[in-house]
Structure 1
Amino acid sequence: MNYQLLAINIDGTLLRPNGRIQSGTKEAIDYVKDKGIYVTLVTNRNFLSAKKVAKALKLESLLITHNGAFISSSLDHPIYQSRLAEERAFNLVQVLENYKCSIRLLHERFSIGNRMRMPRNLISKAVFGAGDPLFYPMQFVTSLGDYLRDNPLAPQKIEVFFSSGTERAEAVRVLKENFHYVNLVEVDERSLAIVPKGVSKLTGLKTLCNHIGIPIDKTVAIGDSMDDIEMIEHAGLGVAMWNAPNELKKAADWVTRSNNQNGVSYMVKEHFRKQQRVEFLRKIKIEK
């Protein structure tokens, strides 16, 4: 199989644990781009944050951000976006404010969060866990419910960080019973992402593939977390990082090194060195 698109998750995959790009990754991406492979980033980050990473890698491609809810190469001209309606976002916040949690409503241009009395290390994880750069405006208010009554907002996503796994489990149960118009992405034992029904990294990848005319079975997807599993299962070649959960590794076709051991560049160079340039394959009519 000759692949035409490479989709890479950011946090835990493309980036090392310290938040820096893995050694050799830029060269590896340049290597596959030179072979005519379309390279994109698929992430739960907001668009501005993902764009900063893409710029460092010299990628000008369409990016799949907000867990698949916003796909674009520029802030003003998305090819796809999905939002939680204002009333629905308000109703979700009304329920979530009954739990001990940090809540953030993410718009492509800014985020609004609640002020919570939580240990400093948990607050830092809740606010900066998604790798938001300082240029992405973040506003904090005492009561999100009160704020939204006067300032309705239709966000791409709601991120929630709970004080305990028990709190998250109870909130998930209530949300599943009462809010059938959302997808709940259980990031880890304390974190939850809420996106519109039908939105996921997989549907984002399929939307991008349809837009640029590449079949899903001609894609390679690399990820490290459970919200990557559907994308990895449906891609032509699904790749899990060594630092990924065992369930994700079992679902993958290939398990590469960890994000601390240059797993992305290792996999890319090992696999794509065997593949001819897409232009050459089309020229000799191996690819149509």
Structure 2
Amino acid sequence: MEMGYKQKVQQRKLVLKMMERSVIFFDIDGTLLNHDKKLPASTKEAVFTLKEQGHEVAIATGRAPFMYEELRKELDINTYVSYNGQYVVLNGEVLDTNPLSIPALLKLTETALVNDHPVVYMDHEDMRANVPEHSYIKESIKSLKIDHFPAHDPHYYEERDIFQTLLFCPEGEEKQYEEVFQDFDFIRWHPVSCDVVPKGGSKWRGIEKIVEKLGIPKERQYAFGDGLNDIEMLSMIHHGVAMGNGEEEVKAVAKYVTKSVEEDGILHGLKMVGLL
């Protein structure tokens, strides 16, 4: 009789805990990782504390899945939004994908070749460049401080889904592509590189798929970010937190602004919103 009562109490506590569960999405560069691409100790500890409390912790990034495998392992995170919302995984299982239009991508590539603007095709496993080498590719990929570098394969788009393409061109020159290629959105992430995603594709699109599946109400949805590709995410989610090192346009749409990633901004922000 006593054991049955205790089990009921424990079960009720578990149900209450699940009812209070929140979901928190973190961008990577400039948010989880500092400018040296290092994970601050305070951030790692904060993430594990959230997980111990029963919250769902996820990543929302413009990066490819293969670009942050080690980070996912280090933080024990199995739910993530890659390619700015085009490849969505929930608890290790692919939940949703949104590939680029191949005919439109080929036309984009043709125009880019004329302008000496290389492109890199990316699927969920790897990436390949349409030219053997280019200074823009070296400069921007090097800034990510990752082991992967795109080999040359101009036909990589064939017989596979391409979820994001990198267009390498100086700032402002993407405007000519935006005017012509209406199937795509162009999101700058580096002085000589833009993410090319399907029109309307964004981190928020991927997040919506996850929160709908999890059934967590909007009042318990949080996101942290710093870059231009975080604007829609932070403006649409109920609790949007911009990093202190973030772009001014990002801070303008966020509900909260925390300290910079170099100043334990994740820990400070989680305390600010009442999660820690």
- Report the Cα offset of residue 152 of structure 1: 5.3
Instruction: Give distance in 1, aligned partners of 2:121 and 2:35.
Output: 25
Greater relative contact order, per chain length (Cα 8 Å cut-off, separation 6+): 1
- Residue 162 of structure 2: aligned partner: 155
- Report the Cα offset of residue 68 of structure 1: 0.6
Q: Deviations over 1:142-187 (max 9, x none)?
A: xx3xx369x455310011222x33xxx34422x2332222222233
- Report the Cα offset of residue 97 of structure 1: 1.3
Instruction: Give distance in 2, aligned partners of 1:153 and 1:89.
Output: 13
- Residue 32 of structure 2: aligned partner: 14
Q: Summarize the alignment of residues 1-288 of structure 1 with structure 2, pairs less than 5 Å apart.
A: 4-60=22-78, 62-73=79-90, 77-113=93-129, 114-118=131-135, 122-134=136-148, 138-141=150-153, 144=154, 147=155, 151=158, 153-162=160-169, 164-165=170-171, 169-173=172-176, 175-272=177-274
Unmatched tracts of structure 1, length 5 or more: 275-288
- Higher alpha-carbon deviation: 229-238 or 151-160: 151-160
Report if aligned partners of 1:28, 1:269 keep a CA contact under 8 Å in 2.
no
- Paired AA for residue 111 in structure 1: M
Instruction: Give distance in 2, aligned partners of 1:67 and 1:215.
Output: 22
Identity rate, percent:
22
Instruction: Give distance in 1, aligned partners of 2:124 and 2:34.
Output: 25
- Report the Cα offset of residue 253 of structure 1: 1.5
Instruction: Give distance in 2, aligned partners of 1:73 and 1:132.
Output: 24
- Report the Cα offset of residue 194 of structure 1: 0.8
Q: Deviations over 1:236-284 (max 9, x none)?
A: 111111111112112111111111111112222443356xxxxxxxxxx
- Report the Cα offset of residue 72 of structure 1: 1.3
Q: Deviations over 1:36-74 (max 9, x none)?
A: 2111000011012233211111223x2100111001158
Q: 1:127 to 1:79 in 2, by over 3 A?
A: same
The secondary structure found in structure 2 opposite 1:154 is coil
Q: TM-score, normalised by structure 2?
A: 0.83
Report if aligned partners of 1:83, 1:196 keep a CA contact under 8 Å in 2.
yes
Q: Deviations over 1:54-96 (max 9, x none)?
A: 1111223x21001110011588x41101111332222221111
- Paired AA for residue 253 in structure 1: K
Q: 1:125 to 1:260 in 2, by over 3 A?
A: farther
- Report the Cα offset of residue 133 of structure 1: 3.4
Q: Deviations over 1:108-165 (max 9, x none)?
A: 11111123443xxx5433223445434xx73225xx3xx369x455310011222x33
- Higher alpha-carbon deviation: 36-45 or 209-218: 209-218
> Size of the alignment, in residue pairs?
256
The secondary structure found in structure 1 opposite 2:94 is coil
Unmatched tracts of structure 2, length 5 or more: 1-19
- Paired AA for residue 104 in structure 1: V
The secondary structure found in structure 2 opposite 1:56 is helix
The secondary structure found in structure 1 opposite 2:273 is helix
Instruction: Give distance in 2, aligned partners of 1:131 and 1:208.
Output: 29
Report if aligned partners of 1:3, 1:220 keep a CA contact under 8 Å in 2.
no
Instruction: Give distance in 2, aligned partners of 1:41 and 1:199.
Output: 16
Q: 1:7 to 1:227 in 2, by over 3 A?
A: same
Cα RMSD after superposing both structures: 2.4
Moved over 6 A (4+): none
